[in-house]
Chain A
Amino acid sequence: MLDSRTNRPEPLPDGAGVGYKPQHFSNILEAPAAVSWLEIHAENYMGSGGRPLAQLRHLAERFPISVHGVGLSIGGEAPLDQDHLSRLKHLIGWLNPASFSEHLAWSTHDSHFLNDLLPLPYTQATLARVCAHIDQVQQVLGREMLLENPSTYLAFAETEMEETEFLAEIARRTGCGLLLDVNNVFVSTTNQQTDPHAYIAAFPMARVGEIHLGGHDMQTDAHGAPLLIDSHGREVVDPVWALYAETLARAGRRPTLIEWDNDVPGWPVLEAEAARAAALLAEVPA
């Protein structure tokens, strides 16, 4: 999927994609029209060979691919892991994907990788550090990246800025794009007891290169307040679909991904979720 004049990949299409799971390989190739692009987790394709890379090469001939990193720890207090950045550069180099995205979060401390997207206080110090890391990533990869808004479960007493303001400032300083996860907006605003509609209204939509939709679980905190968990293990709920429609009305059409990482269903369930996103996208004037 290269632009023949520039050898740069074409951007993701403004259609519906899914997070690729190996168990769906045959389903996807049998009926490729069901989705218009695929997203992979970068870290699952950092082996030296074998089936994962063979499948990815095969899929990349037929679909635009988005590479979504989950291990770079862009919000980490320590310098970025050079070895991991090199692995990422290698993957991006040979695959030349349509998009690369990572998270506003940290996951590694003192060479311990904690395998979760951990929260950050929104302060000037965090802002400077995150921007320096994004500058470094964009320089090493030689391309712009997208940064995703997190799901959060708690707040920091030291936070000085709204998350939307924080993300807008990162995009302004680094030139990076943003990945707007609408389920994360719903989860975080519920957990922080703020207004999801105000969050969407304040989000810098011009910077949004991709939208994520996924499922969450419901719990309560010690005081009985709702506490939503970003589990990626079920269907997108109706209030999130409504918030997505509201987002599209403000942003226009954007490439939209269905994320389902745990208790992964059979292909028809995932395909139906993608079709629902595609139907909402089709209602937006081009």
Chain B
Amino acid sequence: MRQPGFTEALLDPARAVPAGLTDPQGRPAGKRFDVYRNNVAASLTAALETAFPVLRALLGAEFFRRMAGIYLRQHPPTLPLLMFYGAEMPAFLAHFPPVQDLGYLPDVARLELALRHSYHAADAAPVDPAALEAIAPERLMRARLRLAPALRLVRSDWPVVTLWQMHQPGGGAPPEMRAEDALLTRPGFDPAISPLPPGGAAFLLALQRGETFGAALGHAEAESHNFDLGAVLGLLLKGEAIIAIDHEDNR
């Protein structure tokens, strides 16, 4: 047997069953090979359904199942870690003709991937909120905040947070068509998604690059004249997303 030919036939039902595979009587394996084909397709479809529940709700279960069948043949997993399967889904959706006019789908997929990665990210103890509040403003401006490994940012030209919330228990109103940036934090073990106020993403991206608090604030205010620093710090503290404050004097 050669595993390359077996693999190609597994992923492509139109291909002939490889030679040399038989039933107990020595007849061609036929339908018996389809058991393996079905195991592969069904298990990978189930993995995609688990990974993208909101995408599935937006597209409908039957459409999603058929689409997953196409996706899994174009993009079989490249790792034996199914919890991270589906990384190519945003790019796939952007080029999948039947959903070309649904421009928000790739960002919903990015948000669901980010949720998965946040869930499995490394643990890190958050700083005490009182410790942050106790720092004199001028000293804070020169400090660098380290963010939790579970923090994720998804920037979108679409109302990606509201779309996601619509499909959670309890629902939510259909969104207005506006851009939303999503902040994912993981207080404890369950990731939480919040919309960031204008300028929030620029602030966090600067912190992630290792810029000082003051420099990050500058980026945020350049993007939004009325940047709400208090709201963003509130989300970070509630989300247990600040894990260290590095001061210039002890770096």
Chain A residues within CB distance 8 Å of chain B: 43-44, 46-54, 70-73, 76-78, 81, 84, 106-116, 118-121, 153-158, 191-194, 221-223, 225, 227, 229
Say whether B20 contacts A153, CB under 8 Å.
no
Q: In the complex, what residues of B have CB within 8 A of residue A77's CB?
A: 2-3
How far, in Å, is A57 (CB) from chain B's closest CB?
11
Q: In whole angstroms, what is the CA distance A54 to B190 when docked?
A: 13
Q: In the complex, what residues of A have CB within 8 A of residue B33's CB?
A: 153-154
Say whether A156 contacts B122, CB under 8 Å.
no
How far, in Å, is A75 (CB) from chain B's closest CB?
9
How far, in Å, is A279 (CB) from chain B's closest CB?
32
Tally of chain B residues near chain A (CB < 8 A):
46
Chain B residues within CB distance 8 Å of chain A: 1-4, 6-7, 10-11, 20-27, 29-33, 35-36, 39-40, 43-44, 47, 76-83, 119-123, 149-150, 186, 189-190
Q: In the complex, what residues of A have CB within 8 A of residue B24's CB?
A: 155, 191-194, 225
Say whether B23 contacts A221, CB under 8 Å.
yes
Say whether A115 contacts B21, CB under 8 Å.
no
Q: In the complex, what residues of A have CB within 8 A of residue B43's CB?
A: 115-116
How far, in Å, is A202 (CB) from chain B's closest CB?
18
Q: Which of B7, B22, B120 lies at the interface centre, i.e. has the most chain A CB atoms within 10 A of its CB?
A: B120
Say whether B40 contacts A50, CB under 8 Å.
no
**Can you identify 24 A-B contacts, CB atoms within 8 angstroms?**
A47-B119, A48-B149, A49-B122, A50-B186, A54-B123, A73-B80, A78-B3, A84-B80, A109-B6, A115-B44, A153-B29, A153-B32, A153-B36, A154-B32, A155-B21, A156-B1, A156-B22, A158-B1, A221-B23, A222-B31, A223-B25, A227-B31, A227-B32, A229-B35
How many pairs of A and B residues are in contact by the CB < 8 Å rule? Answer: 140
Q: In whole angstroms, what is the CA distance A222 to B22 when docked?
A: 12
Say whether B1 contacts A121, CB under 8 Å.
yes
Say whether A109 contacts B82, CB under 8 Å.
no
Q: In the complex, what residues of A have CB within 8 A of residue B76's CB?
A: 112-114
Say whether A158 contacts B123, CB under 8 Å.
no
How far, in Å, is B188 (CB) from chain A's closest CB?
8
Say whether B1 contacts A112, CB under 8 Å.
no
Q: Which of A116, A192, A194 lies at the interface centre, i.e. has the most chain B CB atoms within 10 A of its CB?
A: A116
Say whether A49 contacts B121, CB under 8 Å.
yes
Q: In the complex, what residues of A have CB within 8 A of residue B77's CB?
A: 112-115
How far, in Å, is A77 (CB) from chain B's closest CB?
5
Say whether B78 contacts A222, CB under 8 Å.
no
Q: Which of B21, B25, B30, B121 lies at the interface centre, i.e. has the most chain A CB atoms within 10 A of its CB?
A: B21
